[in-house]
Amino acid sequence: MSRPPRPAWIPRAGALLVLPAVLLLLVAGPASASSTAPSAPDVKSTEQRIDVRGGPGVPGTVSLDTTLYLPARTPAPAVLVAHGFGGSKRSVDTDARQLADRGYVVLTWSARGFGSSGGQIALDSPDYEVADASQLVDWLAARPKVQQDAPGDPRVGVTGGSYGGALSLLLAGYDKRIDALAPVITWNDLSQALFPQAGGPGGLPADTPARGTFGDDGVFKKGWAGVFFSSGASPAGGGGSGAGGSASGTPATSVPPTAPPVTCGRFTAAVCAAYTESATTGRLSPATKALLERSSPASVTNRITQPTLIVQGEQDTLFGLDQADANARQIAAAGGTVKLAWYSGGHDGGAPDQAVRDDIGKWFDFHLRGEGTDPGTTFSYEVDSGIRAGRTTATSRTVVAGDYPGLAGAAAVQTRPLPLQGGPQVVANPAGGNPAAITSLPGLGGALGTLSGRLSAFTAQLPGQAAQFTTAPLASQVDIAGAPRVDLTVARVPGQPAADQAVLFARVFEVGQDGLQQLLGGAVAPIRVAVPADGSPARVSVTLPGVVAPLEAGNRLLVSVATTDQGYASPTQPAVWAVGLADGSSISVPVVPGRAVTASTVPLFPLVGIGVVLVLALAAWLVARVRRRRADVPPPGAADAPPLEITGLAKTYRGGFSAVKEVSFTVAPGMVLGLLGPNGAGKTTVLRMLMGLISPTAGTIRAFGEPVDPGAPVLARIGAFVEGPGFLPHLSGADNLRLYWAATGRPTEEARLEDALEIAGLGESVHRRVGTYSQGMRQRLAIAQAMLGLPELLVLDEPTNGLDPPQIHAMRELLRRYAEGGRTVLVSSHLLAEVEQTCSHVVVMHHGKVVADGTVDDIIAGGGAASFGVDAPERAVAVLGALDGVHDVAAEGRLVHAELNGTPRASAVQALVSAGISVESAGPRRRLEDAFLQLVGEDTAP
């Protein structure tokens, strides 16, 4: 199986009673991990009420609850941060503070009907919520602390997740003062999202060409729609006169006579009526379709030309990848600059991590302030290995392609046909649509995927309700990135009940060699297809849900077409259908090639348990950074650029603590450079910034000529080993390395396993169980793991920890061998004598600064103290003492020590030889330890 079984902490049937509360939290969108977060001392925030126009049918004004965040320096560009459905301004406090910390004026607010704002929920209506946001732009235009492009036109960006993401897009379409935007896990067409297939096949938006005969509307996504409605159906609150709010913003004390029914909560009457009709009929009426489409970015994407970063989740049964696909294509067609990023989360998989937030910050840095590197228009997707540290932290890799090729059907998408096996099969829709298959739950998505694979008789594959078609075992790994397609036939069964239209649910499982099934993407594609009454089959081309999934060699794909799904409204009338494959049908899976870079890895802290050891072995922190695919993509950067160039690097944390200050040094090819310094000198902080784990406050890091920051593609050319290696003791060393490499998803031939093992020098021991290894052998195996793929720059933190002298000597030789041929090694160590013997160059740090940088000999030589081995010590003392500037000359046996005070050592040797004295040796007098203590003081330790 390509992914391990879900742990036992998944909610069981009894635990599902707590789901409603959980779902209300999940539907709020990608809020930060905490509702509030400490801010930098210079970020100030103030709360205030801002009154906006009531809008059509709402007299007076509506009072919005807002918070303004001011950075240390103003005037500055502004960013509006909108919250998700069911949330409030508090949901985005952390995001707002991080943007303010980057130097932006940030305004957050609770949308109509949420938090303590007045008004009613109109689902991002242009007449209400969008108009409110435009008036907030007016308010920013009057603030002197906000940078202005022109009178009444502030420099402003907008971002938000889910409900807030759609608001971002709609605002950009209606208000051209928006200069840049970053919508996250949101919709393109709300009618398509809640009634998939409405106007297009398999859940793709209406502008996707349809093949086959489909029904006149989609299939109601009743599970998610119910969560939406219930989270906004709490008793009315906030402030207001009439239905909207009072000019003063004081809370209403009574419900107006014209208020909608209690069952509508804080929704407008129109939204309430649309939901009630959809929930009772399961169909999309023209009136509801018009209402939903007006609240959809699809209505304005043809006029969005502002730079747009679209972030979409790969685990999202609410707003799938098809919704981002439509937004990206439509904005690009209108002439806009679009960058698209998929991450391994979503409404079912979690909020974006800090790396995604940093990317949003960089997007605004470039497009609002003109700072930083142009983020370009690349497309990236995250491939989750399925392996987790503990219960939540996933290991994954990110693949970056030059441009977005489209979700399906575009010529730039590489497709791989996988032939399907299986003849026509009879499936029945039960009376009442019950029992219904359970493939996902709102907010949990595919969390039931593995469970349903085990209990197929009771959940996803109900007997008699699902036709199944399988591929042969895969000959090699395939990374799906997009929407697979399959051609099906649907026909009536003579003598059996039927209807004019069949409602079916297509989905794709990966079936492991052990028989366990994993529902790809945790999602299904609903189909409403018109079936001829004459018995002839309807042929339909079904676009399955967009997914990102690494398919393991030896596993199979299973295409399942079912008659029911609990998340959707199924027909209540019984019907029987014959479902088959079109002639010669295959499942066509899209593959988007690109270069592999790093995504999330496991944290570094003491953990126990064999499961954690497995995670560490497969994703040992920085070592898990996936190397560049060298076969097809030439490395970027100038050919003569140094492996590492650090200039003016600084890192100041919140609270004002400066860990690193103005650090600059360059590492050339072939160097073995030692990074030295006492505890607290800033070495670890420099390494973390070098590996893209944290962003510097100032300065630059360039590797091979390319800028280094979190997620930078050039990180794929760097290998690293930091602290304790984790291996499975019952496997051999070679098997541990193979298992680790398999988790990266890279082709086996790119591992260079034999080369890494040869450099590590483990010999035949590599075939023994790791449980029999000594500490030194484990360390060498860990270094071999870091060397897989033979990265051009190898970063090692304390590689000789716990080794005895013979093992240290072997490690020294290992590093020297690795640097041969132009590769480069950076070593952070506290063993000064070992650094002296291993490294060619040294950088010494103290109190966050570089206090010395040069060759080991230069650092040791310092002011010029030298020692000479001679055959006539007394005569040598006289000769050296007579040289200009030389002093403190003394003999110690056959050694003569002298402070040369700037006199070249070669000149001193020449003077001795000219005097007839035989010179047996000449070198610096001090050891590296002496030089180190002189640089940082004797009260510190490395």
Q: Of 53-57, 348-352, 396-400, 465-469, where does mean pLDDT reach its minimum?
A: 396-400
Query: Does pLDDT of 372 surpass 50?
Result: yes
Q: Average of pLDDT values for 258-283?
A: 79
Cα dihedral 619, 620, 622, 628 sign: negative
CATH architecture of the domain formed by 863-925: 2-Layer Sandwich (3.30)
Q: Of 62-66, 678-682, 788-792, where does mean pLDDT reach its minimum?
A: 678-682
Query: Does pLDDT of 559 surpass 80?
Result: yes
Residue 714, pLDDT score: 82
Q: What is the pTM of this model?
A: 0.62
> What is the C-alpha to C-alpha distance for residues 676 and 852, in angstroms, rounded to an integer?
10
Residue 35, pLDDT score: 36
Count Cα neighbours of 493 within 13 Å in the Cβ-side half-sphere: 16
> What is the C-alpha to C-alpha distance for residues 527 and 544, in angstroms, rounded to an integer?
10
> Which among 680, 704, 701 is positioned nearest to 691, based on CA atoms?
701
Q: Of 445-459, 661-675, 764-778, 895-909, where does mean pLDDT reach its minimum?
A: 445-459
Confidence of residue 620 (pLDDT cuts 50, 70, 90): very low
> Which among 564, 568, 523 is positioned nearest to 546, based on CA atoms?
523
Q: Of 22-36, 349-363, 659-673, where does mean pLDDT reach its minimum?
A: 22-36
The answer to whether the beta carbons of residues 172 and 306 sit under 8 Å apart is: yes
Confidence of residue 844 (pLDDT cuts 50, 70, 90): confident
Which residue is associated with the tokens 């938006």? 205
Retrieve residue 131's tokens: 């108009």
Main-chain phi, psi angles of 569, to 5 degrees: -85, 110
Residue 456, pLDDT score: 42
- The boundaries of every CATH 3.40.50.300 domain in the chain are 642-856
Per-residue H/E/C for 399-431: EEECCCCCCCCCCCCEEEEEEEECCCEEEEECH
DSSP code string of 503-535:
EEEEEEEEE-TTS-EEEGGG--EEEEEE--TTS
Phi-psi region of 79 (alpha: psi -120 to 50; beta: other; left: phi over 0): beta
DSSP conformational letter for 209 = P
> What is the C-alpha to C-alpha distance for residues 6 and 656, in angstroms, rounded to an integer?
43
Residue, of 230 and 35, whose pLDDT is higher = 230
Query: Does pLDDT of 147 surpass 90?
Result: yes
> What is the C-alpha to C-alpha distance for residues 552 and 900, in angstroms, rounded to an integer?
66
Query: Does pLDDT of 940 surpass 50?
Result: no
Cα dihedral 362, 363, 368, 372 sign: positive
> What is the C-alpha to C-alpha distance for residues 482 and 690, in angstroms, rounded to an integer?
32
Residue, of 215 and 614, whose pLDDT is higher = 215
> What is the C-alpha to C-alpha distance for residues 163 and 356, in angstroms, rounded to an integer?
18
H/E stretch holding 88 reads none
Q: Average of pLDDT values for 173-191?
A: 96
Query: Does pLDDT of 448 surpass 60?
Result: no
Query: Does pLDDT of 835 surpass 80?
Result: no
> Which among 839, 857, 808, 848 is positioned nearest to 677, based on CA atoms?
848
Query: Does pLDDT of 305 surpass 70?
Result: yes
> What is the C-alpha to C-alpha distance for residues 621 and 684, in angstroms, rounded to an integer?
14
The answer to whether the beta carbons of residues 189 and 319 sit under 8 Å apart is: no
Confidence of residue 796 (pLDDT cuts 50, 70, 90): confident
Retrieve residue 623's tokens: 């070592």
The number of helices, as runs of H, and strands, as runs of E, in the chain is: 22, 40
- The boundaries of every CATH 2.60.120.260 domain in the chain are 416-589
**Residue 842 DSSP SS3:** strand
Q: Average of pLDDT values for 197-224?
A: 54
Q: What is the pLDDT of residues 747-762, one digit of tens each?
A: 777 888 887 777 667 7
Q: Of 115-119, 446-450, 787-791, where does mean pLDDT reach its minimum?
A: 446-450
Query: Does pLDDT of 313 surpass 70?
Result: yes
Confidence of residue 444 (pLDDT cuts 50, 70, 90): low
Which residue is associated with the tokens 């909207």? 244
> What is the C-alpha to C-alpha distance for residues 52 and 10, in angstroms, rounded to an integer?
45
> What is the C-alpha to C-alpha distance for residues 98 and 104, in angstroms, rounded to an integer?
9
H/E stretch holding 9 reads none
CB count, 10 Å around CB of 763?
9
Q: For domain 642-856, give its CATH number from 1.20.120.530, 3.40.50.300, 3.30.420.40, 1.10.1060.10.
A: 3.40.50.300
Which residue is associated with the tokens 């075939």? 767
> What is the C-alpha to C-alpha distance for residues 460 and 466, in angstroms, rounded to an integer?
9
Q: Of 288-292, 603-607, 748-752, where does mean pLDDT reach its minimum?
A: 603-607
- The boundaries of every CATH 3.30.70.100 domain in the chain are 863-925
> What is the C-alpha to C-alpha distance for residues 417 and 399, in angstroms, rounded to an integer?
22
Query: Does pLDDT of 225 surpass 50?
Result: yes
The answer to whether the beta carbons of residues 49 and 62 sit under 8 Å apart is: no
> What is the C-alpha to C-alpha distance for residues 549 and 86, in angstroms, rounded to an integer?
30
**Residue 706 DSSP SS3:** strand
The answer to whether the beta carbons of residues 570 and 564 sit under 8 Å apart is: yes
Per-residue H/E/C for 583-629: CCCEEEEEECCCEEEECCCCCCCCCCCHHHHHHHHHCCHHHHCCCCC
The answer to whether the beta carbons of residues 620 and 787 sit under 8 Å apart is: no
Query: Does pLDDT of 130 surpass 90?
Result: yes
DSSP code string of 855-875:
EHHHHHHTTTEEEEEES-HHH
Confidence of residue 461 (pLDDT cuts 50, 70, 90): confident
Residue 443, pLDDT score: 63
Q: Average of pLDDT values for 593-603?
A: 52
Residue 886, pLDDT score: 85
Query: Does pLDDT of 450 surpass 60?
Result: no
Retrieve residue 270's tokens: 């129109």
Residue, of 445 and 912, whose pLDDT is higher = 912
Query: Does pLDDT of 803 surpass 80?
Result: no
The answer to whether the beta carbons of residues 942 and 676 sit under 8 Å apart is: yes
Share of the chain above pLDDT 70, in %: 76
Residue type, 25: L
Main-chain phi, psi angles of 197, to 5 degrees: 80, 0
The answer to whether the beta carbons of residues 189 and 298 sit under 8 Å apart is: yes
Main-chain phi, psi angles of 57, to 5 degrees: 80, 0
Retrieve residue 194's tokens: 């809640």
Query: Does pLDDT of 173 surpass 90?
Result: yes
Residue 150, pLDDT score: 95
Residue, of 190 and 18, whose pLDDT is higher = 190
Residue 257, pLDDT score: 41
Q: What is the pLDDT of residues 98-107, one digit of tens each?
A: 999 999 999 9
Q: Of 104-113, 205-214, 694-703, 777-786, where does mean pLDDT reach its minimum?
A: 205-214
Share of the chain above pLDDT 90, in %: 34
Query: Does pLDDT of 32 surpass 60?
Result: no
Retrieve residue 25's tokens: 């939290």
What average pLDDT does the structure give for the chain?
78
Residue 842, pLDDT score: 87
**Residue 369 DSSP SS3:** helix
Query: Does pLDDT of 219 surpass 70?
Result: yes
> What is the C-alpha to C-alpha distance for residues 379 and 361, in angstroms, rounded to an integer?
17
- Write the CATH number of the domain with boundaries 416-589: 2.60.120.260
Q: Average of pLDDT values for 872-889?
A: 88
Which residue is associated with the tokens 């008699």? 464
Confidence of residue 492 (pLDDT cuts 50, 70, 90): very high
CA 108 from centroid of its chain's CA atoms:
24
Judging by DSSP bridges, how do beta strands 338-343 and 517-519 pair with one another?
Answer: unpaired
Residue 263, pLDDT score: 61
> What is the C-alpha to C-alpha distance for residues 399 and 597, in angstroms, rounded to an integer?
6
CB count, 10 Å around CB of 638?
10
Q: What is the pLDDT of residues 624-633, one digit of tens each?
A: 333 333 333 3
Q: What is the pLDDT of residues 893-929, one digit of tens each?
A: 888 888 877 788 888 888 999 999 988 888 765 555 5
Q: What is the pLDDT of residues 414-434, one digit of tens each?
A: 788 999 998 899 999 998 888
Q: Helix, strand, coil shares of the chain as percentages rounded to 5?
A: 30, 30, 45
Retrieve residue 812's tokens: 């020294």
DSSP code string of 236-260:
P-SB-STTT--TT-PBPSS--TTPP
Residue 408, pLDDT score: 55
Q: Average of pLDDT values for 238-259?
A: 35
> What is the C-alpha to C-alpha distance for residues 331 and 310, in angstroms, rounded to an integer?
10
H/E stretch holding 319 reads none
Residue 389, pLDDT score: 35
Residue, of 361 and 906, whose pLDDT is higher = 361
Task: Specify which of 173-182, 214-223, 609-618 reaches the highest per-range mean pLDDT.
Answer: 173-182
DSSP code string of 746-767:
--GGGG-HHHHHHHHT-GGGGG
Residue, of 670 and 310, whose pLDDT is higher = 310
> What is the C-alpha to C-alpha distance for residues 244 and 25, in angstroms, rounded to an integer?
26
Radius of gyration for the chain, computed over Cα atoms and rounded to the nearest angstrom: 33
Query: Does pLDDT of 11 surpass 90?
Result: no
The answer to whether the beta carbons of residues 177 and 154 sit under 8 Å apart is: yes
Q: What is the pLDDT of residues 520-532, one digit of tens each?
A: 888 889 999 999 9
